[in-house]
Structure 1
């Protein structure tokens, strides 16, 4: 008899965004052409020199540190949250985690009993449902009728009908780029308080807002302190996704239990990386680098979204933040194309993604893993030349579709 693997282990889906990075490389090798890769959810630049120097200096910190995270970094983050969100969380209310993803993973174990329901706003980041399943919770998809903005009254009905314990969303949203307004957040906050549930706000893209928009957080709304939890981190704003740092801020009891679990899961985040983040969050150079990225990605958005909307059959709302475009492509379902002497039908976002990969040599991520099979996600975190070339290649490839 062979020992068995757990049911949850078998059912968890791989991260589609990470898997596609490998597939792009494989296609390039197999067919001998260069792909413009717009799948990546990471900035196209790394940390500034002062942050790298701090990482080198922090390499001396080779022993275990506090599981909750470096006290000085937590003090700095307390000030960052107060400045950016407008509410004060003390260092005791903040835990440094192994990536924002790692924080979310442990949070689900802190908040959920097996079989409890988590309401996930659609569209959503691909990891949300799997993080719920790994904690033996049940992901429930809310607002999944094709709309990209929250609809409070519909949300209230769905939360009641599905007996939701935790509400989870991102703003700015990955993949849509929607930024929740103050009015929308206040309506969501009313529902959260009325139903006495948890709400997790993933704000990892809060430094990437376009058209002069201001970031709003549900944590800043009156009386939300006992229900709201923030997930954030330095990966996007400082271009350090490989450093695997994030943080969680929320009620002290949640942070205490999260820290207890983290002590068993990973013993705490990397000390050298935390040391470097002390510098990053206080560095003028790092701030200027983030501002530069935001400005470049806004220009990329303007070029790419305008170009996509000029293609018959594609419709793309202008993203307000994050660094993705999320156009609707379901008008092409039912069409066909030829490749290596064979005919291929398009009946899903994965089929359309394959079409672009093969015929345009442009890689995006199909919308199905984000909860919307009618769409496809493209990253704007690249050079302007890639954006312009990708548009040209997509335009040319669309002419080869047989509708």
Structure 2
């Protein structure tokens, strides 16, 4: 057989999705891959039922159905603070994953440098490799996951063409402050670079923190490519509806990349999702309340069973410190990945090993999520409580 591409040997399959497959095999409670176990809003499901019979069932416009882009523009111009032209400043993609890949392939030439904060959502490393870019990792330092802005400037001085900012950040739940974003943005302008943002958890931010769109800051719209998705906001992760917003010149190029990557997102799903995009502000306020309650309930359960964890400022992810278990003789030499596999088989709860998110050597953290009904959370906490028996 001829040799395969060298690039495919430089990254693994998704560890997150792998954990889901193992979880399914053993019937564990899946707190690894971040999708809810509850239905989307009724209005969206009703709209989907109608679209199933009335259509559209054929291709929409490659870069997104007109009514879908118009609804997106109306919703996001509130956050970005300016009018958005749905014809020239939006590309609808097959999920936020494609939006990020599309952005990277649009702006990067082989050998370009791109900064990535660590810990990072695992796709970003693969995105850099597939687009031919060389990542520069900037550490987010626990427990507050702060960063040294001088390292960001060093990256731009070294020729970085862009920096990726996940806000709120998966997996650590950090919400970047306006001041932090301003500092990053000022450097991007100074060095004439891009900021590529991943804002899929924009509506899952907990008091006293607030989400700020990078593109809303003074002078930053022209330097920002905003990537987002409907998946988490409307509990429709399987619909794979994402989008990219940016200045016209960037979007016109991104349309070409998107066209040959996937042609277009599913037409009937775009039609149905318009109902969600037209929700009033009260929907997002209620969503924040729902996830605040889930976060507090889940963290209280972790405290009750004695599992050390961070307190996420946003997203629905929590990092758990498993060092005290790895120090036991039975887990001598065990990696966090092996511990997660053991948990699935013996505890019945699926987590993601933290090492898949960090450039640094981190083996003592695992990621869990709480986008689950209360009954599921209760059962997961009950099972996780069995971990403490290991210490007795």
TM-score (norm 2): 0.90
- Mapped contact 1:24–1:37 kept (Cα < 8 A): yes
CA positional deviation for 1:359: 3.6
- Mapped contact 2:116–2:135 kept (Cα < 8 A): yes
**Structure 2: distance between partners of 1:240 and 1:149:** 29
Distance 1:135 1:106, change over 3 A: same
Is residue 297 from structure 1 mapped to residue 291 from structure 2 by the alignment? yes
2:10 aligns with 11
The C-alpha deviation readout for 1:241-260, integer Å capped at 9, x for no partner, is 11111000011111101111
- Mapped contact 1:142–1:158 kept (Cα < 8 A): no
- Mapped contact 2:116–2:165 kept (Cα < 8 A): yes
Is residue 36 from structure 1 mapped to residue 29 from structure 2 by the alignment? yes
**Structure 2: distance between partners of 1:331 and 1:164:** 39
1:105 aligned to which of 101, 108, 112: 101
Distance 1:51 1:393, change over 3 A: closer
Is residue 21 from structure 1 mapped to residue 20 from structure 2 by the alignment? yes
1:356 aligned to which of 310, 321, 343: 343
2:39 aligns with 46
Distance 1:306 1:104, change over 3 A: same
1:368 aligned to which of 355, 360, 363: 355
**Structure 1: distance between partners of 2:150 and 2:328:** 34
**Mean Cα displacement is larger for which, 99-108 or 59-68?**
59-68
The C-alpha deviation readout for 1:324-343, integer Å capped at 9, x for no partner, is 11123334433233xxxxxx
1:264 aligns with 260
Q: How does 1:151-190 map to 2 (within 5 A)?
A: 151-160=147-156, 162-190=158-186
Distance 1:160 1:330, change over 3 A: farther
**Structure 2: distance between partners of 1:139 and 1:374:** 24
**Structure 1: distance between partners of 2:140 and 2:311:** 20
Structure 2: unaligned runs, 5 residues or longer: none
Q: How many residues align?
A: 386
**Mean Cα displacement is larger for which, 118-127 or 38-47?**
38-47
1:325 aligns with 318
2:73 aligns with 78
CA positional deviation for 1:192: 1.4
CA positional deviation for 1:146: 4.6
1:394 aligns with 384
Is residue 63 from structure 1 mapped to residue 50 from structure 2 by the alignment? no
User: Helix, strand or coil for the counterpart of 1:378?
Assistant: strand
**Structure 2: distance between partners of 1:307 and 1:54:** 37
**Structure 1: distance between partners of 2:279 and 2:152:** 42
Q: Which has the higher contact order (CA 8 A, sep 6+)?
A: 2
CA positional deviation for 1:162: 4.6
- Mapped contact 1:120–1:167 kept (Cα < 8 A): yes
- Mapped contact 2:103–2:225 kept (Cα < 8 A): no
**Structure 2: distance between partners of 1:255 and 1:10:** 31
1:315 aligned to which of 277, 295, 308: 308
**Structure 1: distance between partners of 2:371 and 2:176:** 21
**Structure 1: distance between partners of 2:19 and 2:146:** 29
Distance 1:223 1:309, change over 3 A: same
CA positional deviation for 1:323: 0.7
2:248 aligns with 252
- Mapped contact 1:323–1:380 kept (Cα < 8 A): yes
**Structure 2: distance between partners of 1:216 and 1:351:** 38
CA positional deviation for 1:134: 1.0
Distance 1:86 1:324, change over 3 A: same
User: Helix, strand or coil for the counterpart of 2:227?
Assistant: strand
User: Helix, strand or coil for the counterpart of 1:232?
Assistant: strand
Structure 1: unaligned runs, 5 residues or longer: 29-34, 338-343
The C-alpha deviation readout for 1:64-105, integer Å capped at 9, x for no partner, is 221121122212211211223323322121111111111111
- Mapped contact 1:152–1:184 kept (Cα < 8 A): no
Distance 1:283 1:152, change over 3 A: same
